Amino acid sequence: MKGMMYNMINEEEILVPKNDVIFKRLFGRVKSKEKVKEFLEAILNIRIKDVILEKETELLPENLDDKVGILDVRAEFDDGTLIDIEMQNVNQGNIEKRLTYYLNQLYTSDLQKGKTYNELNKAIAIGILNFDYFKDIKEHHTIWKMTEQHNKSKTLEEQEIHFIELPKFLRSEINIDRKLDQWLLFIDYSRKELVKMAEEKNNLIKEASEEYEYLVGDEAVRRLAFLKRKWELDYNSGIQYARTEGEKVGEKRGEKRGEKRGEKRGRKEKQIEIAKKSKDKGIPVETIAEITGLSVEEIEKM
């Protein structure tokens, strides 16, 4: 049974760093500290003294549902800044709402530790998307903050969201010497020749690749990765089915509306034809109105 499931899905497409099960194992563990630090420095364009990763948690197969569809990596900087990195492979049409929710949860988590509002730390949410989302924006890396709308002179710096759209990145002009490009090439893993070049230029990428090779040889990780991908395929299939059925229902409703409109128009034309002939024969207008259902005013205008 297990082998059948594996054969149904292309391994090369599933067992890649952007599979969020594998992504979690690569970036969500305490020992991944240096890799996460460099990756975050590249995304945020800042220098970071230290990164603290939350203790990793195991993802159980029975938990592979929508509620944990995104496997997150939580981190904290030495200055208290809180970070949430999300790898998202399925476009559910609500990623901006989900990331905003995660960001607010992250920002207010300090209150649960007994801090006051003045002591709340900055929070940053990062969404790595394996799909195009913002159709009218060409940049693959966008940064979102709250800015005063009248003169744009003041921005609240306490919260920010970064979206990175991998398909747009792959269509952009890639600079193999740029750290962020190196990491995105590794995470996507579809351009293996460029990944090899990134490994040669960056020892941390090389380490990540070696760990990745080890992970994909682990049967438990492979099974979780395949289960997660199966869930994603089932979800996409369900959405497509719902759209197709919705279109069919819409077509049927449209046909019925068209038929009703046609029948109504036909009845109206017949009433007018009868009214004209009756009027030509000198039948009183009130009688014609009673027979045809047309108003006296309509008949008098004929």
Q: Where are the domains of the chain?
A: 2-217
pLDDT score at 261: 65
Q: pLDDT class for 171, splitting at 50, 70, 90?
A: very high
Q: pLDDT class for 232, splitting at 50, 70, 90?
A: low
Q: Which residue did the predictor score with more confidence, 220 or 19?
A: 19
Going by C-alpha positions, the residue among 142, 149, 148, 147 that lies closest to residue 125 is 142
pLDDT score at 255: 58
Q: What is the mean pLDDT of the chain?
A: 82
pLDDT score at 114: 79
How large is the average pLDDT for residues 49-75?
A: 62
pLDDT score at 58: 45
Of 4-13, 137-146, 207-216, least confident by mean pLDDT is 4-13
**Cα–Cα distance measured from residue 61 to residue 231, given in angstroms and rounded to the nearest whole number:** 11
**Cα–Cα distance measured from residue 223 to residue 216, given in angstroms and rounded to the nearest whole number:** 10
Asked if residue 50 lies in contact with residue 40, where contact means CB atoms within 8 angstroms, the answer is no
**Cα–Cα distance measured from residue 17 to residue 27, given in angstroms and rounded to the nearest whole number:** 10
Asked if the model's pLDDT at residue 260 lies above 80, the reply is no
Q: Which residues contact 148 (CB under 8 A, 6 or more apart)?
A: 154, 155
Which two structure tokens, joined as six digits, stand for 275? 């009214």
- Give the alpha-carbon dihedral of 147, 148, 153, 154, to 10 degrees: -70
Asked if the model's pLDDT at residue 215 lies above 60, the reply is yes
How large is the average pLDDT for residues 125-140?
A: 96
* Maximal CA-CA distance, the chain: 101
Q: pLDDT class for 2, splitting at 50, 70, 90?
A: very low
Partner residues linked to 123 by β-bridges: 82, 159
DSSP string, 132-180: ---TT---SEEEEEEE-TTTS--EEEEEEEEEEEHHHHHHS---TTSHH
Dump pLDDT digits (tens) for 179-194: 999 999 999 999 999 9
